[in-house]
């Protein structure tokens, strides 16, 4: 009955589904029933103090012996195991669990295995859009075996967000933990985009002394037209800049610059998505820079101490800009480029995992469910750019797709100008600058790493590929060692 589970419970009820609630907190259950009453949904919900009564009530709705659906939205980790262990003796063949939390995909797969041997269905379903979407229609990212997915999809379709073509933002994503895996990477992309947008906000508000209303108007302009059209994180950016509290004061100035890790204090999707990038050998600097910024921001006491020893020497300065209008347009393009970089990195991680973990990911479905409801939704990026690419068939690396690449090519000069201006003024732009470096090194055929490789060979007899490759990309002569300093 928390913000996500509670919202979804009301949403299911609104669709005519009988919902039996169970939560360790009686207060939370009561509060949810109160909201249900306000929405005229009280007849569709009942509360239960234990699993026995919960299961019995589900039975009374589904009919004797019919499969029951258990949807939960829990903090990741051991809580799901505790709940599953408690429910297990009461579950029977055909029942279906839909785990809608931000669970780690390996936990989902482990629990799937525990359920599978008993004939119990288990779906790991990433849910995106925050608590308001949970109430109005989230984007849902389910993974599991086909039997479980096809069993539960009609129910999920009733509550999922609806794309402009009226199709639901829920579909079969892949097998095993694919749903939670893709949701984890969605969150990595989300944080990369959020960092780039926040960096843009700081450049405008602090580097250019723009008023919050003006920054809000600028975000609005980005959101209204062009490549960032209807980009959720940009649109809420406009709102955040304008929002005032009851006393008529702007709210944003009172927000501390600390991005606090999730409330359980445990690792979450932000950490896991970066772990996965490394695990899958995929460079994902936009995501990683965002994450490093986040964890550095979280330790304000440390930053204050380092400010005294080091930071005072090079405080951020105002940007030196001749043409403000032109720079703001550059900034819009830079944020767009960083968003594309984040998407590309995320999709490449998913593809590697898909191959090594046999997720059998359905890319058109994945792009479809990102069209509405979720946090990374963006009309142009999702619908107009990516979906047509992935609708065509097998996965392609977005950076090698001519349409995607040409967008980045167009944005590169603006991204570079923004990063240069920000660097000149010691402004903090980790995701924007990491995105620029990413585009440079991913596209280069003359990296500084010849020297890196030579150093490794010098001290470690690491061997190196000799320049000149056959058409398959294999070195002509194989790897070789040079005795740089004969004994
Ligand atoms: C969503 C969000 C959501 C999550 C945030 C913050 O898609 O609705 O991703 O699931 O709350 O990403 O997550 P952490 O604070 O755990 O990183």
For a pLDDT cut of 70, what percent of the chain falls above it?
97
Going from the Cα of 187 to the center of ligand 1, the distance in angstroms, rounded, reads: 6
What is the model's pLDDT at position 65? 85
pLDDT confidence tier of residue 262, bands split at 50, 70 and 90: low
pLDDT confidence tier of residue 393, bands split at 50, 70 and 90: confident
Mutate which of 4, 74, 102, 182 for ligand 1? The one with the most ligand atoms within 8 Å of its CB, which is 102
What is the model's pLDDT at position 76? 93
What residue ranges define each of the domains in the chain, with the CATH number in brackets?
Answer: 3-176 (3.40.50.720), 183-208+258-360+384-443 (1.10.1040.10), 449-480 (no CATH)
Mean pLDDT across 422-432: 98
pLDDT at 220 over 80: yes
Write out pLDDT tens, residues 106-136. Answer: 999 999 999 999 999 999 999 999 999 999 9
pLDDT at 475 over 60: no
Mutate which of 132, 182, 187, 192 for ligand 1? The one with the most ligand atoms within 8 Å of its CB, which is 187
Mean pLDDT across 191-207: 98
Closest residue CA from atom 7 of ligand 1: 128
Rounded to an integer, what distance in angstroms lies between the CA atom of residue 331 and that of residue 337?
A: 10
183 is catalytic: yes
Q: Is pLDDT larger for residue 162 or for residue 393?
A: 162
pLDDT, mean over the chain: 95
pLDDT at 426 over 90: yes
Rounded to an integer, what distance in angstroms lies between the CA atom of residue 105 and that of residue 123?
A: 11
pLDDT confidence tier of residue 379, bands split at 50, 70 and 90: very high
Q: Nearest CA to 49 among 28, 21, 74, 89?
A: 21
SS3 track for the chain: CCHHHHHHHHHHHHCCCCEEEECCCHHHHHHHHHHHHHCCCHHHEEEECCHHHHHHHHHHHHCCCCCCEEEECCCCCHHHHHHHHHHHHHCCCCCEEEECCCCCHHHHHHHHHHHHCCCCEEEEEEEECHHHHHHHCCEEEEECCHHHHHHHHHHHHHHCCECCCCCECECCCECCCHHHHHHHHHHHHHHHHHHHHHHHHHHHHHHCCCCHHHHHHHHHHHHHCCCCCCEHHHHHHHHHHHCECCCCCECHHHCCCCCCCCCCCCCCHHHHHHHHHHHCCCCCHHHHHHHHHHHHHHCHHHHHHHHHHCHHHCCCCCCCCCCHHHHHHHHHHHHHHHHHHHHHHHHHHHHHHHHHHCCCCCHHHHHHHCCCCCCCCEHHHHHHHHHHHHHCCCCCCHHHCHHHHHHHHHHHHHHHHHHHHHHHCCCCCHHHHHHHHHHHHHHCCCCCHHHHHHHHHHHHCCCEECCCECCCCCECCCEECCCCCCC
Among the listed residues 190, 218, 276, 407, the single catalytic one is 190
Sequence-distant (≥ 6) Cβ neighbours of residue 238 within 8 angstroms? 216, 217, 219, 220, 223
**Cβ-contact 46, 21 below 8 angstroms:** yes
Rounded to an integer, what distance in angstroms lies between the CA atom of residue 366 and that of residue 408?
A: 22
Mean pLDDT across 17-21: 96
Write out pLDDT tens, residues 331-348. Answer: 999 999 999 999 999 999
For a pLDDT cut of 90, what percent of the chain falls above it?
92
pLDDT at 239 over 60: yes
Among the listed residues 47, 183, 357, 416, the single catalytic one is 183
What is the model's pLDDT at position 420? 98
What is the model's pLDDT at position 249? 97
pLDDT at 248 over 90: yes
485 is catalytic: no
What is the model's pLDDT at position 471? 57
Residues with CB under 6 A from ligand 1: 102, 128-130, 187, 190, 262, 268-270, 374-375
Going from the Cα of 357 to the center of ligand 1, the distance in angstroms, rounded, reads: 24
pLDDT at 378 over 60: yes
Write out pLDDT tens, residues 34-76. Answer: 999 999 999 999 999 999 999 999 988 878 889 999 999 999 9
Sequence-distant (≥ 6) Cβ neighbours of residue 197 within 8 angstroms? 219, 233, 234, 237, 335
pLDDT confidence tier of residue 392, bands split at 50, 70 and 90: confident
What is the model's pLDDT at position 263? 46
């Amino acid at each position: 009955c928390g913000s996500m589970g509670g919202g979804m419970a009301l949403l299911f009820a609104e669709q005519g589904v009988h919902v039996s609630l169970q939560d360790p907190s009686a207060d939370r259950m009561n509060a949810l029933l109160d909201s249900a009453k306000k929405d005229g949904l009280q007849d569709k919900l009942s509360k239960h103090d234990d699993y026995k009564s919960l299961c019995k009530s589900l039975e009374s709705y589904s009919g004797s012996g019919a499969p029951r659906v258990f949807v939960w939205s829990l903090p990741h980790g051991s809580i799901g195991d505790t709940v599953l262990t408690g429910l297990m003796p009461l579950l029977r063949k055909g029942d279906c669990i839909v785990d809608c939390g931000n669970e780690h995909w390996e936990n989902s797969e482990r629990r799937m295995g525990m359920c599978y041997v008993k004939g119990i269905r288990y779906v790991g379903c990433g849910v995106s859009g925050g608590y308001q979407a949970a109430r109005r229609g989230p984007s849902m990212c389910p993974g599991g075996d086909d039997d479980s997915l096809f069993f539960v999809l009609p129910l999920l379709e009733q509550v999922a967000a609806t794309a402009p073509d009226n199709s639901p933002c829920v579909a079969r994503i892949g097998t095993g933990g694919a749903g939670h895996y893709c949701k984890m990477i969605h969150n990595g992309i989300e944080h990369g985009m959020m960092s780039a947008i926040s960096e843009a906000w700081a450049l405008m508000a602090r580097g250019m002394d723009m008023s919050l209303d003006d920054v809000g108007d600028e975000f609005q302009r980005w959101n209204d037209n062009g490549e960032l059209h209807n980009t959720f994180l940009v649109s809420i950016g406009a709102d955040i800049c304008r929002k005032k509290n009851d006393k008529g004061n702007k709210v944003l100035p009172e927000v501390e610059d600390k991005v606090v890790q999730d409330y359980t204090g445990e690792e979450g999707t932000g950490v896991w998505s970066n772990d996965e990038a490394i695990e899958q050998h995929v460079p994902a600097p936009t995501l990683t820079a965002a994450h490093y910024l986040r964890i550095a921001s979280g330790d304000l006491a440390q930053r204050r101490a380092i400010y005294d020893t080091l930071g005072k020497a090079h405080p951020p300065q105002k940007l030196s800009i001749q043409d403000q209008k032109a720079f703001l347009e550059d900034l819009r393009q830079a944020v767009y480029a960083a968003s594309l970089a984040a998407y590309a990195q995320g999709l490449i991680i998913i593809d590697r995992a898909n191959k090594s973990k046999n997720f059998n990911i359905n890319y058109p479905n994945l792009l479809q469910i990102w069209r509405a409801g979720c946090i990374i939704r963006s009309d142009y990026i999702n619908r107009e750019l990516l979906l047509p690419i992935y609708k065509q068939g097998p996965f392609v690396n977005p950076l090698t797709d001519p349409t995607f690449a040409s967008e980045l090519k167009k944005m590169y000069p603006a991204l570079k100008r923004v990063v240069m201006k920000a660097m000149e003024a010691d402004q903090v732009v980790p995701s924007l600058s990491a995105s620029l470096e990413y585009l440079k090194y991913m596209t280069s055929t003359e990296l500084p790493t010849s020297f890196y490789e030579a150093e490794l060979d010098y001290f470690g007899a690491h061997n190196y590929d000799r320049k000149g490759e056959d058409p398959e990309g294999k070195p002509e002569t194989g790897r070789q060692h040079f005795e740089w300093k004969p004994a």
